Amino acid sequence: MDETKTKISRLLKIKEAAKLLSVHPATLRRWDKESRLVAIRIGSRAHPKRSNPNVTGDRRYRLEDIQKLING
């Protein structure tokens, strides 16, 4: 049987990621919309004013993606 190892990355909350990158959380939200730094969505919290109801939940960012952005 072929075994593959799955690498599990640490997920950071938006404030944690913003602090590491020295940017405002709103910047991370914009970068997510621009696909510059894509967030993982956790949960299914609905927002009544959101235009796209399929995109819900809290944003989480992979630590390895943050490190890649910092290291260029």
pTM: 0.74
Query: Which pLDDT score, from 0 to 100, does residue 48 have?
Result: 60
In the sheet that 11-13 helps form, which strands lie side by side, from edge to edge? Answer: 11-13, 58-62, 40-42
The structural domains of the chain, ordered by start, are 11-45+56-71 (1.10.1660.10)
Query: Which pLDDT score, from 0 to 100, does residue 13 have?
Result: 96
Query: Which pLDDT score, from 0 to 100, does residue 30 have?
Result: 97
Rg (Cα) of the chain, in Å, rounded? 14
Can you name the residues that pair with 12 across neighbouring β-strands? 61
Query: Which pLDDT score, from 0 to 100, does residue 20 have?
Result: 96
Residues in the chain with pLDDT values less than 70: 1-7, 45-56
Query: Please, is 65 exposed, middle or buried when counting C-beta atoms within 10 Å of its C-beta (0-12, 13-18, 19+)?
Result: middle
Query: Which pLDDT score, from 0 to 100, does residue 65 have?
Result: 95
